[in-house]
Amino acid sequence: MAEINRISRSFKDISLSFKPHPVTGDLPVLKNERAINASIKNIVQTVPGEKFFNERFGSEVRSQLFEQFDATTSVILEQQIIESINAYEPRVDNLSVEVTARPDRNELGITVSYRIVGQEFPSQNYSFILEATR
């Protein structure tokens, strides 16, 4: 069976802030790489079972914030993030993830690198920090 290549001219998502535009009152729209960055962050930060009607959506990254962190944990987290993004974000490929532990600050630095499918954008890098709340 031949592989299907998805081609799109642009991507649009509604911002999850749901904060209306001050002048028009419209909901904000995220476009292209900003939409995909927000989607990736949402996938990584959502705990499975948190999203209605799709209890598998998300990743187990937050549960690892309170565990003893070592090289094996880093590899496991990277794999979990890659699996979650591959399952729920079909607009990206050539995905790689780097997890950096910052135990003194009780946080994880995460960098996700990917290419947007069907677009001529350069490869994207998206970095964010996950920290345990007390």
Asked whether residue 8 carries a pLDDT value surpassing 60, the answer given is no
Residue 5 included in any domain: no
Residue 4 lies in a domain: no
Q: Give the C-alpha separation, 67 to 76, whole Å.
A: 12
Q: Are strands 107-116 and 92-102 parallel, antiparallel or unpaired?
A: antiparallel
Q: Kindly report the CATH number assigned to the domain that includes residue 67.
A: 3.10.450.40
Cβ 77 vs Cβ 96: under 8 Å? no
> DSSP states of 77-119 as a string?
HHHHHHHHHHHH-TTEEEEEEEEEEEGGGTEEEEEEEEEETTS
Rounded to two decimals, the pTM is 0.77
Q: Which domain holds residue 51?
A: 12-131
- Contacts by 98-102 with C-beta closer than 8 Å and gap 24+? 99/74, 101/69, 101/73, 101/74, 102/129
Per-residue pLDDT reduced to its tens digit, 63-122: 777 677 777 888 888 999 999 999 999 989 999 999 888 877 878 888 999 998 877 778
Percent of the chain surpassing pLDDT 70:
87
Res. 130: pLDDT tops 60: yes
Measured distance CA(77)–CA(61) in Å, rounded:
6
Q: Is position 6 within any domain?
A: no
Percent of the chain with pLDDT over 90: 19
Domain-embedded: residue 80: yes
Q: For residue 101, list its beta bridge partners.
A: 108
21 inside domain: yes
- pLDDT > 70? residue 17: no
Looking at the structure of the chain, the number of domains it has is: 1
- The residue type found at 77 is L
Please give the Cα distance from 59 to 97 (Å, whole number). Answer: 13
The two tokens of residue 104 are: 């003194």
Specify if 50 maps to a domain: yes
Q: Coil, strand or helix: which one is 95? A: strand
2 pLDDT tier (thresholds 50, 70, 90): low
Give the per-residue pLDDT at 24: 82
